[in-house]
Amino acid sequence: MNRPLSKQLLNARFFLLLMIILFLTPTFFPSSAWLFSFATPLLNLNTIFLSILIEALPFVLIGVLIAGFIQIFITEQHIQKCIPKNKFLAIIMSCVIGALFPACECGIVPIVRRLVSKGVPIHSAMGFMLTGPLINPIVIISTYMAFGNDLKIAGLRMILGFIIAIIVALLISMLFTGTQFKKGIRTNHAQHGTAKLSFFKKSSNMVNHSIDEFFDMGKYLIIGAFLAAFVQTFVSTKTLVDIGDHFTSSMLVMMLLAYILSLCSEADAFIGASFSSIFPTPSILAFLIFGPMIDFKNTIMMLGVFRLKFVLSVLTIVFLVIFFIIWLIAPFL
């Protein structure tokens, strides 16, 4: 297997050269003026694409670091001890943990993947995934501010979101068992003596896992961010809004918007608020609850881990439950 030393050195040199080039790239095109002739839409697309990435990266990195931590430090025994045997209790618990856990929808998929591979039942994991990005202090405050310092929308968003997450998780528990991982994604069945390793060694392993996790999830994040940026650059909100003149159609339009815009749950309240005069409150609520639970970017990331059939089912269930619940309570709003 050992290649001649000269070849290895060549590889190493190539690697170094590549790094130097990368470092120098900015100085090659100090003004990039020659590229300004590029079509404006493309530059708009690129700007939005990069901005979504820059915005999402902190949360993704936190997500992969937590995933790495779970992988190395949490054993299956821990999880089996913590999660109640009763399905309903397990779901409630996971939804509460999700609500307490300040996550963003882009960082949560790697965490969910690790949890499931460590033996967390799929319905609990989904409960956690649905409440994590939706219910947290930053989202509450931004929603409160965006709607003219009114607690009603922020409160409804949290309470309804919590109830909806529980219902969705219950439905998933009836329909699906097992990990629902797609082929090629393995779960770890045993821990061969991790306990023997020193804390330092474990931490170093955790970082390695986080790096691999980043490379596993990064590509889906990038595809998702690109598609969301594409929609923002080329699809007009106005045409969508023109469709939604009835109550139900306006709800559908707002949910579709929430899905394709893939906004961060901490910022979507302001966009939601900007529609509050053209659409009734229930439609705005549907936008605010659907977006953080599942969106375009998130779906692509989930497809990187779970089976297509499972992802589509979760998407459909979340959509239907939100639609139905909000339709039910609409007369009281």
Partner 1 sequence: MKFHLQQAVKAVILCAFSVMIFNLHATGEITKLINPKYEMLSKTVAIIFLVLFVAQLKRIFSFSNHRNHNELCGCCAHSLVNPPFNWERILSYLILVVPLFTGFTLPTKFLDASIAQKKGATIMMTNQSQATKKDEVASRNEDGLLEDHPIDPKLLEEKQEMSKKEYDLLKQQLAQNPIVEMTNYIFSVYYEDINNNLSQYQGKKIRLSGFVLKETDLLENQFVISRFLITHCVADASIIGFLTEMPEAASLQEDSWIEAEGTIDIGYYNGVELPIIRIEQWKNIQEPAEPYIYPIDILISM
Tokens of residue 237, six digits: 């909100």
Between residue 163 and residue 192, which ones bind partner 1 under the rule CB under 8 A?
A: 186-192
Separation of alpha carbons 174 and 159, rounded Å = 23
Asked if 176 and 313 count as a contact pair (C-beta separation under 8 A), the reply is: yes
Tally Cβ neighbours within 10 Å of residue 154: 21
How many residues of this chain bind partner 1 (CB under 8 A)? 98
Between residue 298 and residue 327, which ones bind partner 1 under the rule CB under 8 A?
A: none
Minimum CB–partner distance for residue 328 and partner 1 (Å): 26
**Nearest to partner 1 of 176, 275 (CB atom):** 275
Told to check if 296 binds partner 1 by CB under 8 A, we report no
Separation of alpha carbons 29 and 53, rounded Å = 23
Please pick, from the candidates 39, 85, 148, 331, the single residue that binds partner 1 as defined by CB under 8 A: 148
Stretch that binds partner 1, among 84-92, 121-129, 158-166, 223-231 (CB under 8 A): 223-231
**Nearest to partner 1 of 83, 207 (CB atom):** 207
Between residue 40 and residue 59, which ones bind partner 1 under the rule CB under 8 A?
A: 40-44, 46-55, 57-58
Told to check if 88 binds partner 1 by CB under 8 A, we report no
Q: Which residues of 92-131 are buried (b: 16+ CB within 10 A; e: fewer)?
A: bbbbbebbebbbbbbbbbbbbbbbbbbbbbbbbbbbbbbb
Minimum CB–partner distance for residue 289 and partner 1 (Å): 17
H or E element at residue 30: none
Told to check if 86 binds partner 1 by CB under 8 A, we report no
Between residue 260 and residue 279, which ones bind partner 1 under the rule CB under 8 A?
A: 261, 263-264, 266-268, 270-271, 273-278
Between residue 54 and residue 83, which ones bind partner 1 under the rule CB under 8 A?
A: 54-55, 57-58, 61, 65, 71-72
**What type of residue sits at position 120?**
V
Tokens of residue 133, six digits: 């990005």
> What pairs with residue 181 in β-bridges?
306
Told to check if 212 binds partner 1 by CB under 8 A, we report yes
Told to check if 295 binds partner 1 by CB under 8 A, we report no
**Nearest to partner 1 of 187, 248 (CB atom):** 187
Between residue 112 and residue 141, which ones bind partner 1 under the rule CB under 8 A?
A: 117, 141
Separation of alpha carbons 239 and 245, rounded Å = 11
Told to check if 142 binds partner 1 by CB under 8 A, we report yes
Separation of alpha carbons 297 and 299, rounded Å = 6
Tokens of residue 138, six digits: 């930053």
Separation of alpha carbons 230 and 291, rounded Å = 17
Stretch that binds partner 1, among 33-41, 169-177, 243-251, 324-332 (CB under 8 A): 33-41
Minimum CB–partner distance for residue 219 and partner 1 (Å): 4
**Strand, helix or coil at 193?**
coil
